[in-house]
Amino acid sequence: MLDLGMIGGDSSRRAVPSAGASYPYECYILTRDDAGATGLHQVDPGRRHCQMLSCGPRIDEALCHAALAVPEGGAVVVLATRPWLSMRKYGDRGYLYTQLDTAHLHMNLVLAADNLGAGVVLRRRPQGLESLVTEYGQCAEVHSALAVTALPAGDGPDVEPPGWVVRDARATRPASLRQQPHWLERLCWESLVTDSAGVEVGSLNAAISLPTAVRRRNRTPLVPRAAFHSRRSATGFAPGTVPARDVRSTVDRAISVLDDVLPAAGTPPHATLVIRQEEREQGKSGRPTGQSIRWLPELTDESVTEAFMAQRHLADASAVLLLHAPTASLIEETGGSQLWTVLYRAGALAQLVYLEAAQRGLAVTGVGGFDSERWKQLAGLPADHDVVYAVAMGVDTPDAPKLDRLAVAYAQNERS
């Protein structure tokens, strides 16, 4: 599951995209050993390292507090965000990217477990696990947890899956010797937890959401294994158009899988699909639900480039999925902010779009560097909405540069 959920097909690539390839999160795995003791492991998918940090009843207590348990023969996977890893490059916007990036990974792990036939129980922002996470990574926030039931024989999580190094780091990295965060990371973190204007941050203590159970044993996987292996972010788009029906069915299927896995009727973000072609397929039965479509053949490359903050390599995108939500739902300060949920669903949906696009041969990339006002104008979105994420699709081009990987945040319009 780790291979499918975290590592891409060519093994040098991750299974999920990340703004500027910064991967601003940590992944922990809790499993039980033969003697019944629960161990806490930290996973580094880049290096394919899985190291045990601690073991013992304290971990069970934390799990109990979070209303979770390690399923027999299975594991609990905990994701914790480290906003600093993205914010040092992207400023405040890096906070949004952190949530989107982590949602991509979360959804991919759910789909990988589903693909292998495991059952999954989800917890969003479970309380009780902070102590475990912060002991080994201060300035981190628990994002979500998945309890994965045992995989069927043959597909089960080997003790040491091929290419992974699993080691016991308790002696070499006891909690008392843990690495202290860089002072800049601490400053960034403190600004997040004390800044009441920082929307969602005040809800670190938000109520636990009800668990979501994904139990699809013996059903066709939601996403075939091949899609996990071929996923990648387009480095640019070639001129030309991709079939509108492929784009529509990509988005349609992604929305329906999201609703299957994380049902939440009517919850933002809203999805508006901009297609740079004449309207086609009028009257076709099975009109997509859950997305609005704007046919905009007149949209120029210059407008698209401008709306994507001068990212020229995106100028020839054939279609853009805009995920947007009422601004008020994002910034309410009375504990009612939906920011976390909106970004969680936006990132999860975008991951599904990546995987569906891969199956249809569409080039695709998530885009965080966009001008919300400009896109609202171009696509006629409600004035009181804000775009939170965009996914561009089109014809692939092999040799365009991926500018947001550069050290300086090129996509943020910080230089003219």
Ligand X SMILES: Cc1cc2nc3c(=O)[nH]c(=O)nc-3n(C[C@H](O)[C@H](O)[C@H](O)COP(=O)(O)O)c2cc1C
Q: Give residues in contact with ligand X (CB under 6 A).
A: 13-14, 17-19, 21, 97, 100-101, 104, 232-233, 311, 365-369, 402, 404-405, 411
Strand partners, 41: 29, 52
- Kindly state the helix (H) or strand (E) to which residue 88 belongs, with its residue range: helix 84-90
Residues 165, 50: contact at Cβ < 8 Å?
A: yes
End-to-end CA distance of the chain: give it in Å, rounded. 44
> C-alpha angle with apex 58: 57 to 62, nearest 5 degrees?
115
What percent helix, strand, coil does the chain show, rounded to 5? 35, 20, 40
From the CB of 349, what's the least distance to ligand X, in Å? 12
From the CB of 127, what's the least distance to ligand X, in Å? 26
- Considering beta carbons, is residue 164 or 308 the nearer one to ligand X? 308
- Considering beta carbons, is residue 100 or 320 the nearer one to ligand X? 100
From the CB of 147, what's the least distance to ligand X, in Å? 25
- Kindly state the helix (H) or strand (E) to which residue 136 belongs, with its residue range: helix 130-136
From the CB of 194, what's the least distance to ligand X, in Å? 25
Q: Coil, strand or helix: which one is 170? A: coil
From the CB of 52, what's the least distance to ligand X, in Å? 28
- Considering beta carbons, is residue 13 or 374 the nearer one to ligand X? 13
Chain residue whose CB lies nearest ligand X: 17
From the CB of 119, what's the least distance to ligand X, in Å? 27
- Helices vs. strands in the chain: H and E counts, helices first: 12, 14
- Considering beta carbons, is residue 41 or 231 the nearer one to ligand X? 231
- Considering beta carbons, is residue 46 or 297 the nearer one to ligand X? 46
* Other Cβ atoms within 10 Å of 213 Cβ, number: 11
Backbone angles phi, psi at 52, to 5 degrees: -80, 125
Q: Which of 29, 2, 30 is nearest to 16 (CA)?
A: 2
- Considering beta carbons, is residue 49 or 402 the nearer one to ligand X? 402
